[in-house]
Amino acid sequence: MKQPNTQPMHELMLRETASQTAGPYVHIGLAPAAAGNPERDEEIWNEMARPGAQGEHIEIRGTVIDGNGDLVRDAFLEAWQADADGVYQSHYDLRKDFNSFGRTASMAEENSEWSLKTIKPGAVLHPSGKPMAPHINLAVFARGINIHLQTRLYFDDEVDANAACPVLSRVESDSRRQTLIARREEANGVVRYRFDIRLQGPGETLFFDF
The closest alpha carbon to 72, from 63, 81, 80, belongs to: 63
Alpha helices in the chain (DSSP H): 9-12, 26-30, 159-164, 174-178
Burial class (CB in 10 A: 0-12, 13-18, 19+), 32: middle
Q: What is the pLDDT of residue 189?
A: 85
User: Does residue 18 lie within any of the structural domains?
Assistant: no
Residue 204 has a pLDDT of: 97
Phi, psi dihedral angles at 168 (to 5 degrees): -65, -35
SS3 169: helix
Coil, strand or helix: which one is 26? helix
> By the 8 A CB rule, do 79 and 31 touch?
no
pLDDT for res 132: 98
Task: Determine, yes or no, domain membership for 23.
Answer: no
State the pLDDT at residue 10. 53
How much is the pTM?
0.88
Residue 33 lies in a domain: no
For the chain, how many residues are written? 210
Query: Is residue 17 a part of any domain in this protein?
Result: no
CB 198 within 8 A of CB 205: yes
The amino acid that residue 114 corresponds to is: W
Question: Which residues, given as ranges, of the chain have pLDDT below 70?
Answer: 1-12, 19-24, 210
Query: If you ran DSSP here, which 8-state letter would residue 55 be given?
Result: S
Confidence at residue 34, expressed as pLDDT on a 0 to 100 scale: 85
End-to-end CA distance of the chain: 48
Which domain does 86 fall in, by range? Answer: 60-210
CB proximity list for 141: less than 8 A, separation 6 or greater: 22, 26, 75, 76, 77, 78, 148
Domain total in the chain: 1
d(CA 131, CA 49): 23
CATH number at residue 120: 2.60.130.10
Q: Which of these, 81, 56, 82, 71, lies nearest to 157 by C-alpha position?
A: 56
